[in-house]
Amino acid sequence: MAYVLDTVDLPPGDRVEAVRAAMMYASAPCHVIHEDPGGPVHARMEVWDLGDANVFTHRSSGIRLLRTERLARQDAMPVVALSVQLRAEGWIERSGRQAVVPAGELLAVDLSAAYDYSWSGDGAAGAIQIPFDRLGLPVDVVRRAAPEIRSSPYYRMLTDHIGHLARDPAGLTGNAAVATASVELAGALLASAAGPDRDTRRVLAETLLTRVRAFVRRHLADPELTPAAIAAAHNVSLRHLYQVCAAADLSLEQWIIGERLRYARQDLLRPENRHRPVAAIARRWGFRDPTHFTRRFKARYGILPSRLRRSAEAGPG
């Protein structure tokens, strides 16, 4: 982690300048305008490495980040920020277009261009910031896609993913697979929002397996989650889906069952679930038949689910 700023340890008179300096490091150079500069200004910013990208979390009192055309002309390296509004309502203006960003929604901003972004009162946002060259997409495609990301079928998938990253950066950002998946999902979202052309089709083809894995994890509880349903959701043939999985040495059906068993095991070990029937936990993770669940669980973990629960309740020894 590259810890940036926490104003709690600073005298009130030093906080405005500290936030401005930290923003220069953490994100793009911009004018930092506080809603109440003479009032109780507070901010906490963190930057975490995510491969060649980073995760930037920002919690503060009301603030406005104004990047002018003059500032935008000074930067040579284009970077896109995909930011989830975690608290308060955000407001963005770019290229003459204005939009409100409710809490829980996603915003794409070209940090190398001009923009005006703000929130009022205590607010928070978490973003992944990715250099354009890591996305494998031309600058014009990313800029065309940024205002249209809600049209992408991967909008909610990436919104949830970034929300998880922002809430637990210490536990997630050190994983190389998470870094790769984050950039690939971002590329898929922007490619699909930009509309069909050669570059977007290429990125969507290259990121299919990453998108399938993320889709499966979001729908594990659905007993109707089948390879055919997954292929249909991604607009590919079942044969092509199997070919992509085979090239990655992945048995799709077995991987789905393994993921369901893993989450079911976690639920069985949680103390708050000790009175919940094993069959109910099995159904929660997509197993219609309790007998089939028990058989697969024992084959995977070498113990019956009910015995695992009793062993966990008994504690060590």
Q: How far apart are CA 22 and CA 26, in angstroms?
A: 6
Which residues have CB under 8 Å from 140's CB, separation 6+?
none
| Superfamily in which the 208-317 domain is placed by CATH | Homeodomain-like (1.10.10.60)
Q: How far apart are CA 59 and CA 67, in angstroms?
A: 19
**pLDDT tens across 16-42, in order?**
999 999 998 888 889 999 999 988 999
Q: What three-state secondary structure class fits 306?
A: helix
**Residue 157 one-letter amino acid:** M
Tell me the whole-structure pTM to 2 decimals. Answer: 0.74
Give ranges for CATH 2.60.120.10 in the chain: 2-206
Give ranges for CATH 1.10.10.60 in the chain: 208-317
Work out the number of other CB atoms within 10 angstroms of the CB of residue 196: 10
Q: How far apart are CA 51 and CA 183, in angstroms?
A: 9
Structure tokens at 73: 């002309």
Name the nearest CA neighbour of 55 among 127, 136, 147, 155.
127
Per residue of the chain (317 residues), give pLDDT as tens. 567 889 998 998 999 999 999 998 888 889 999 999 988 999 999 999 998 899 999 999 999 999 999 988 876 678 999 999 999 999 999 888 899 999 999 999 999 899 999 999 999 999 999 998 888 788 888 888 999 999 998 999 999 999 999 988 888 877 788 888 899 899 999 999 987 777 777 887 888 888 888 889 888 889 889 999 999 988 889 999 999 899 888 899 999 999 999 999 999 998 888 889 999 999 999 999 999 999 999 999 999 999 998 887 766 54
Asked if 190 contacts 146 with a C-beta cutoff of 8 angstroms, the reply is: yes
**DSSP letter assigned to residue 113:** S
**pLDDT tens across 238-292, in order?**
999 999 899 888 899 999 999 999 999 999 998 888 889 999 999 999 999 999 9
CATH class, domain 2-206, is mainly beta
CB environment 80-109: b (16+ within 10 A), e (fewer): bbbbbbbebebbbebeeeeeebeeebbbbb
Name the nearest CA neighbour of 230 among 243, 204, 256, 212.
212
Instruction: Return the residue matching tokens 């290229």.
Output: 95
Asked if 101 contacts 155 with a C-beta cutoff of 8 angstroms, the reply is: no
